[in-house]
């Protein structure tokens, strides 16, 4: 992951995560990037201008009305000459300013006075992150084309637990690389669902399936390599999470639908998750005990069909929707009728009969089914299937 000669304007706002931005500067420079740092007034409460400039090997820009800086280089020029503006940490306050178009300090002015792409690594307390005001601002910024990496879920400096922790420096480096990647999918936002879902029976038991998530991870990586911004919504899968993608972890089909709806709009969506068709109708809140009265009976309820829901959206439907069909018999006929039933554009059908060894294996044999025909690909590695699919998506989105 080299970033040779890339110019990054790094805005460090006021959050405890600012200390991680020092490491971020170091890692960006190791990869050949030039980092021009901007420290907000609140940011300077957390890291010193001296440490920032020492690591960046550049002067730190701090105040809008510094006439010396204005004479050296107009603040507008400062942001326009960058290849990418990175805001890390992106505080709730700065996100609000960005969403509203404020320009009352150097950082917000730079962000308003430019059309350079912007990537934000949000960092804030979990309640602030979940607050409807912040979520509204995020939605506005996403629609404006602002890119995001994280936040992660975990223990926070304030002692709470949840989403709001800034992504690690290497995750931000990966997101920067993909934002700067010049591929046929740069500027495109693509959703990939992956893995199984877990449907609870009681607090300790659940119903699941054997999906490893390997094909979904490979697809996310391949799309990312072509320059797409990938949002990866995954159930509890064994496969590694794709680096460079924005990862959203869920457990159940209902949660997956909620997460998918929250990341829309996207240009394309690939539904490779093996979503459970049913959930236990009334999962028990406490552990079901053995009783003398006999065996428990589980009643099922149907899960929402995420692929069909998104395919049939009246407004805001992705330009391209791709589903999967795991079949054991009459693969092409079944997958062709599934495409029509669900309303997606393409279906990748695979034969998952046990003798193929595909489910959980490293290879896949697929037939791509589209409106006016089908195409059978030779049996190949899941990575190659992913690359071929990503290339097709790039060709179609143009």
Site of interaction with ligand CTP (CB under 6 A): 193, 253, 271, 273, 275, 277, 303, 305-307, 323-326, 338
CB of 260 to ligand CTP, least distance (A): 8
d(C-alpha 176, C-alpha 21), whole Å: 13
Residue closer to ligand CTP (CB basis): 116 or 251: 251
CB of 325 to ligand CTP, least distance (A): 5
**Backbone phi, then psi, for 275, in 5-degree steps?**
-80, 135
Structure tokens at 315: 């407004």
Q: Could you please report the per-residue DSSP string of 163-231?
A: EEEPPPHHHHHHHHHHHH--STTTT-EEEEEESB--EESSSS-EE-----SHHHHHHHHHHHHTT-EEE
Residue closer to ligand CTP (CB basis): 40 or 272: 272
Place of tokens 């020492």: 54
Residue closer to ligand CTP (CB basis): 126 or 322: 322
User: How many C-beta atoms surround the C-beta of residue 150 within 10 A?
Assistant: 24
Structure tokens at 362: 């490293």
Residue closer to ligand CTP (CB basis): 12 or 253: 253
Residue closer to ligand CTP (CB basis): 53 or 337: 337
CB of 341 to ligand CTP, least distance (A): 7
Q: 158 an active-site residue?
A: yes
CB of 257 to ligand CTP, least distance (A): 8
The conformation of residue 294, written as its DSSP 8-state character, comes to: B
CB of 144 to ligand CTP, least distance (A): 29
CB of 163 to ligand CTP, least distance (A): 24
Task: State how far Cα 396 lies from the chain centre.
Answer: 22
d(C-alpha 259, C-alpha 244), whole Å: 18
Q: Which of 1, 158, 204, 262 is catalytic?
A: 158
**Backbone phi, then psi, for 352, in 5-degree steps?**
-105, 25
Task: State how far Cα 306 lies from the chain centre.
Answer: 17
Q: Are 20 and 166 in contact (CB under 8 A)?
A: yes
Q: Are 135 and 127 in contact (CB under 8 A)?
A: no
d(C-alpha 164, C-alpha 122), whole Å: 7
Residue closer to ligand CTP (CB basis): 228 or 275: 275
CB of 259 to ligand CTP, least distance (A): 12
Residue closer to ligand CTP (CB basis): 60 or 233: 233
The three-class DSSP label of residue 265 is coil
d(C-alpha 105, C-alpha 14), whole Å: 13
d(C-alpha 125, C-alpha 131), whole Å: 10
73: CB partners within 8 A, 6+ apart: none
Report the catalytic residues.
158
């Amino acid at each position: 992951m080299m970033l040779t000669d890339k110019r990054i304007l790094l805005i460090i706002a006021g959050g405890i995560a600012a200390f991680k931005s020092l490491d971020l500067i170091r890692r960006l420079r190791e990869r050949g990037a030039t980092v021009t740092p901007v420290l907000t007034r609140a940011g300077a409460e957390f890291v010193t201008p001296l440490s920032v400039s020492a690591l960046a090997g550049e002067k730190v820009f701090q105040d809008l009305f510094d006439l010396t800086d204005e004479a050296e280089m107009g603040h507008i020029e400062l942001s326009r000459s960058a290849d990418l503006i990175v805001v890390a940490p992106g505080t709730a306050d700065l996100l609000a300013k960005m969403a509203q178009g404020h320009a009352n300090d150097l950082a917000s002015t730079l962000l308003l006075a430019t059309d350079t792409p912007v990537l934000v690594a949000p960092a804030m307390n979990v309640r602030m992150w979940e607050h409807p005001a912040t979520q509204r601002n995020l939605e506005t910024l996403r629609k404006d084309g602002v890119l995001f990496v994280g936040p992660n879920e975990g223990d926070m400096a304030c002692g709470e637990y949840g989403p709001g922790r800034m992504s690690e420096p290497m995750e931000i480096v990966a997101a920067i690389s993909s934002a700067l990647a010049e591929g046929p999918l740069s500027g495109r936002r693509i959703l990939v669902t992956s893995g199984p879902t877990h449907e609870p029976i009681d607090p300790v038991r659940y119903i699941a399936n054997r999906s490893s998530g390997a094909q979904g991870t490979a697809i996310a990586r391949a799309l990312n390599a072509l320059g797409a911004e990938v949002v990866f919504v995954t159930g509890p899968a064994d496969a590694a999470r794709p680096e460079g993608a924005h990862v959203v972890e869920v457990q159940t089909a209902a949660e997956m639908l909620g997460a998918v709806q929250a990341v829309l709009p996207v240009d394309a969506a690939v539904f490779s998750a093996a979503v459970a068709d049913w959930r236990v109708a009334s999962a028990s809140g406490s552990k079901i005990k053995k009783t003398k009265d006999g065996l428990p009976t589980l009643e099922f309820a149907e899960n929402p069909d995420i692929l069909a829901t998104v395919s049939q959206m009246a407004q805001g439907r992705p330009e391209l929707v791709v589903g999967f069909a795991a079949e054991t018999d009459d693969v092409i006929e079944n997958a062709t009728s599934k495409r029509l039933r669900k309303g997606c554009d393409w279906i990748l059908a695979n034969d998952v009969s046990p003798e193929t060894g595909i489910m959980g294996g490293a290879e896949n044999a697929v037939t791509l089914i589209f409106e006016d025909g089908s195409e059978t690909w030779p049996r190949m590695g899941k990575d190659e299937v992913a690359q071929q699919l990503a290339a097709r998506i790039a060709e179609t989105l143009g």
